Structure 1
Amino acid sequence: MQVHDDIEAFLAFYESLPGPKRLIGYSKFAERHYAQDGLYGPGTWLVFGSETSGLPTMAVEAVNNDAGNSAMVKIPMQQQHVRSLNLATSVGIGVYEALRQLDGAVLPDATAAPTDTPAAKKLWGGRFTGATDPLMEKFNESLPFDKRMWAEDIRGSQAYAKALAKAGVLTDEEAATIVEGLARVAGEWEAGTFRIVAGDEDIHTANERRLSELIGALGGKLHTGRSRNDQCVTDTRLWLLGALGRVRASLHALIAAAADRAAAEADVLMPGYTHLQPAQTVRWSHWLLSHAAAWQRDDQRLAGLLPRVATLPLGSGALAGNPFGVDRQFLARELGFHGGVCPNSMDAVSDRDFVAETIFTASLHLVHLSRWAEDLIIYSSGPYRFVQCSDAYATGSSLMPQKKNPDALELIRGKGGRSIGGVTSMLAVLKGTPTTYNKDFQESWELMFDAVDTLHDCVRIATGVLSTLRIDPEAMRRGLSADMLATDLAEYLVRRGVPFRETHHISGAAVKMAEDRGCALSDLTPADLRTIHPLFDDDVAEVWDFARSADTRDTEGGASHRSVAEQISKLRAYLEQNAV
């Protein structure tokens, strides 16, 4: 027995424990029944409060925030007005139920030092006689993050069982039993009742262990000719195929939102900037479509990546291939690997290029989203006030009541910076590894999951921001100034045969004249302009029309109304032709 000074000391002790673990907190206010199947396993700690006040808040929060399948449970009471059950009675009920579910197994002492007992139920334990250091168990395990690939691991194993039957290693009946057993394991994951136990170091071990519990020794045949080296990368590719499809669907929604707003607000004019200085007249829609064009390239990169992700490594074994003649083309068809089969078994278990490409592609898209966010942050600031984020995507200040901060945009910008670090980390992981599989690759999962999750979140947040953004066309119009038409003034003379290099200097002289007089460029009369060059006629006044300026940029991809409509049409056609 170990005595802790308080709940805080116990929780610190709990956090230091290696291996699978969970907290079961008992409270009359919980919803879950204390005797629900699958609640208790090795590594479970039962937490009770006092009879007078129940569990302290810190303990409840620890249970609710713990990542190890922890839960709050209640022991039903007949009398609703009874304050609580006797503490000793409650502990006895809880401990009895835990032991019942464990079938009377004796729980190991979590504080004990490692002993030289044989390694149990590990896929690789045959030649080991000493126990693994508990810290090494925790250091080595990947289940806390690779369990999100449980469905892909089961799909791959079901397909592999069929391939083993096709190769004559399993009978059809054995394969059917394994496939059905794996479906039962999947059902437990879906229902949230799958029980993680000590020794489940990764998703492959956990699923195979549970399969063998359900169907007996036959489960041990599933791994015939297969290694976790080809199994884990198969799971990764399968998961990534599904995840990238979901990201692309969300990205298409973002591009569609940009196209819809561009069509609805095509008449809104705004200043265009270079070097963050006012430059020329553009349309708000033209600005929107400039970012949509970058997002379209991002989607094309994701689409181009998919065939390299959808290449089958299963059947490569540890590195040298499969000795039982499994049909890899059958496996590729069964699992939807449209990119075919990895051509070399050593490369198949070694290749993580597709992970590096994914992280880079995610990072580049987040760079594009960051630049879009930066523009909107500037446009929403005091000197501009062109746009305003909706309340759903902004926050206030704890001190200044007037503030409305574009936090969603700032977080997108910040996450873009963090994503670049993921690219560097992934390349560094790969750089020093010798040929074929190395445990270093385990680090790629967390980098990949973080990159894909962050990208997907940012794309959906960006879609929400863009769809609810309020614009102020009048503020945009006020941002336009006559000096932004200086290039149009130069082009006026170009149309009268004067070389542009000369008209550039002439227009510059007109800008200088207006500055010297302290007036706007458009306040100069035709007579004033003729003192600079004789070809300025009275119709030069037409130059000072901002809408006309935008519409003169009527080439493909330009700022004219017609060109903007054409860009919208092309973007919508792209989305239709590349629907996901």
Structure 2
Amino acid sequence: MSDKLWGGRFSKKAKEEVERFTAEKDVQLDERLAIYDIFGTVAHDYMLYSIGAISKKTLQRILVSLWKIKERIENKEFQLRPELEDIHMNIEKTVIEEIGEEYGGMMHLARSRNDQVLVDMRMYLRDQINEVMKLVINLISTFITVGEKNLETLMLGYTHTREAQPTTVAHWCGAYVDPLLRIVDRLEEVYNRVNLCPLGSGAISGVSWPIDRKLTANLLGFDGVQENTMDAISSRGEVESEILFALSLLMIVLSRLCEEIIWWSTREFGVIELDEVYTTGSSLMPQKKNPDVAELTRGRVGRIYGYLVQVLTILKGIPSGYNRDQQEIKGPIFHGLDTVKSILQIMPGLVSTIKFNQERMLNLISDSYSTATELVDLIIKETQTPFRLAHRIVGIYVKQTLKSGNKADPGLLTSLIKSETGKVIRINTDMIEKAIDPKTTIERRNHIGGPAPAEVRRMLANRKEILNSKMVNLAQRVDKIESTYNKLEKLIQDSTR
């Protein structure tokens, strides 16, 4: 006869290799859900008591046992037994062993492991979302600080990995602030979907007991109930996919950042220098200073993409309700969150310690004709020449002056204007040099979103206000969850007196 808690229908014991195949890895992953399973069970059983489904004595016995298990978990003394399949069976079996089946055998009344694991995961995921948001906010704050210190630090911007137009370090920083804020927005959105309570859905069609799902949701700090029980059970993996998608977008941003850091810190670029603590050396070549942190971050993007595809592939082939395939979702979401958090913990230090080589950046700007578009605008303003014709004139001018070291040649430009448009206009060296001066060029770009110092200062100040609001909202969510667990602990203490 089966020795499982669910084994009444079975006459044979499970084969050892089958147990290893179906549960061994899952039990290892379940360790991080242990505390959540305790709190979820406390709320569920208190609800059962409140509707008269179990007696006060039964509730007291269960809560006393759960409290002891919680202390053992926190002291890392609670060892999960693989033969019990998962965290849920481990805790229930321990309670039954401690207080007997008469009392412990009632703790799982009106509940399935299907809705039990869902509520555990959602409590875990909302904490994880808050943690990731806190780390992203810290990185955003770092970029804002670096930007505020470099409002007038000129640098060369690139398109197609070729010299394009001058900008500023502050403008570059702002270009990372905004996509990171969008990541926070996405995480806030998915948090709202995560923070709905699925407990009470049972296996798929609810339960016949007059349960109070709103009470359970409130006890666990959820914003509401995920209503349709079949949808709730079937939705496992949906929010995990959303989180992994948001993390994938985050990794795109971080990978782009690291790609720039890697190239710009080469001797050939010489634009930035990385702090030694974020680099490593070579076992053979003593001169090396390798950007390993940036390279590993760039390389670990593939992990997150893989986890997302893994979850989506699991979900696309299963029908409604719970299917054991969904157990395979734990690994990708757990490992994905771990990977991203480890990167976010180190990235602010990497960014804040970057040293910008201003002299080198100015030389790159002046040597690249990155302000050539300003000459196009000069011709248009002075002659009312159509843009496309002025563009062609400057293209010819750039091609010819490149041969002479990019030196301003007003005579050549005047001649080209006359030959292409028939207009006679005198353009002197001062006009050309003023037009293509990178600092002046930046100051002229004072429209919304441009790199002019005043405009970037405004944008950074605005983003700081947004960030402060995000931090307040985050703190409120964290406080609500902490308060929820404190109330549950008090409920345990009050119920066991």
Provide the TM-score with structure 1 as the length reference.
0.77
Query: Contact 1:363/1:451 (CA < 8 Å) preserved in 2?
Result: no
Tell me what 2:495 maps to.
Answer: none
Aligned-residue offset at 1:514: 0.5
Q: Which has the higher helix share?
A: 2
C-alpha deviation, 1:123, in angstroms: 2.9
Larger radius of gyration: 1
Give the Cα separation in 2 of the matches to 1:467 and 1:149. 35
Specify the alignment match of 2:452 in structure 1.
560
The question of whether the paired residues in 2 share the 8 Å contact of 1:367 and 1:417 is answered with: no
Contact 2:137–2:467 (Cα < 8 Å) also in 1: yes
Shift of 1:198: 5.5
Whole-angstrom CA distance in 2 between matches of 1:474 and 1:464: 24
Task: Tell me how far apart the structure 1 counterparts of residues 96 and 306 of structure 2 sit (CA, whole Å).
Answer: 41
For residue 513 of structure 1, the aligned residue among 397, 400, 425 is 400
Question: Which structure exhibits the higher relative contact order, with contacts defined as CA atoms closer than 8 Å and separated by 6 or more residues?
Answer: 2
**AA partner of residue 129 (structure 1):** S
1:537 partner amino acid? I
1:206-241 Cα shifts (integer Å, max 9, x gaps): 111222233333111110010001001111111000
Is 1:277 equivalent to 2:162 in the alignment?
yes
1:550 touches 1:559 (CA, 8 Å); kept in 2? yes
Q: How do 1:172-321 residues align onto structure 2 when only pairs under 5 Å count?
A: 172-197=56-81, 199-217=83-101, 218-321=103-206
Task: Check conservation: 2:408, 2:432, Cα contact below 8 A.
Answer: no
Please tell me the residue identity of whatever aligns with 2:96.
Answer: S
1:136 matched to 2:18? The reply is yes
* Gap runs ≥5 in structure 2: 418-423, 475-497
Instruction: Point out the more displaced range, 480-489 or 211-220.
Output: 211-220
In the alignment, the residues of structure 1 paired with residue 211 and residue 425 of structure 2 have an alpha-carbon distance, to the nearest angstrom, of 83
For residues 426 and 331 of structure 2, the distance between their equivalents in structure 1, rounded to whole angstroms, comes to: 66
SS in 1 for 2:222: coil
Alpha-carbon distance in structure 2 between the residues aligned to 1:565 and 1:455: 30
1: CA distance, partners of 2:461 / 2:70: 45
CA displacement 1:5-49 (0-9 Å, x = unmatched): xxxxxxxxxxxxxxxxxxxxxxxxxxxxxxxxxxxxxxxxxxxxx
Contact 2:279 2:289 in 1 (8 A): yes
Q: Distance in 2 between matches of 1:512 and 1:536?
A: 21
Q: 2:2 aligns with which of 119, 133, 156?
A: 119
Does 1:576 find its partner at 2:468? yes
Which among 308, 329, 336 is matched to residue 221 of structure 2?
336
Alignment of 1:339-418 (within 5 A): 340-351=224-235, 352-418=237-303
Matched, 1:169 2:53: yes
Normalising by the residue count of structure 2, what TM-score does the alignment of the two structures yield?
0.89
Secondary structure, aligned partner of 1:212: helix
Tell me, which stretches of 5 or more residues in structure 1 are unaligned? 1-117
* Cα shift readout 1:446-486 (whole Å, capped 9, x = no counterpart): 01101111111111221221122222222222221251111
Across the aligned residues of Structure 1 and Structure 2, the Cα RMSD in angstroms comes to 1.5
- Change in Cα spacing, 1:212 to 1:536, as seen in structure 2 (3 Å) is farther
* Cα distance in 2 for residues equivalent to 1:307 and 1:536: 64
Listed one character per residue, the Cα deviations across residues 497-533 of structure 1 (whole Å, up to 9, x for unaligned) are 3332222112112112203x4321xx22333321122
Measure how far apart 1:545 and its partner are. Answer: 1.3
What is the aligned counterpart of 1:546 among 438, 461, 472?
Answer: 438
Pairwise CA distance, 1:430:
0.6
CA distance in 2, matches of 1:495, 1:455: 51
State the shift of 1:196 in Å.
3.0
Distance 1:566 1:443 in 2: 47
- The residue identity in structure 1 corresponding to 2:75 is A
1:184, distance to aligned residue in structure 2 (A): 1.5
Distance 1:413 1:573 in 2: 30
Does structure 1 residue 490 correspond to structure 2 residue 368? no
Identity of counterpart residues, as a percentage?
33
Q: Do the aligned residues in 2 keep the contact of 1:254 with 1:462 (CA within 8 Å)?
A: yes
Q: SS state of the match for residue 403, structure 1?
A: coil
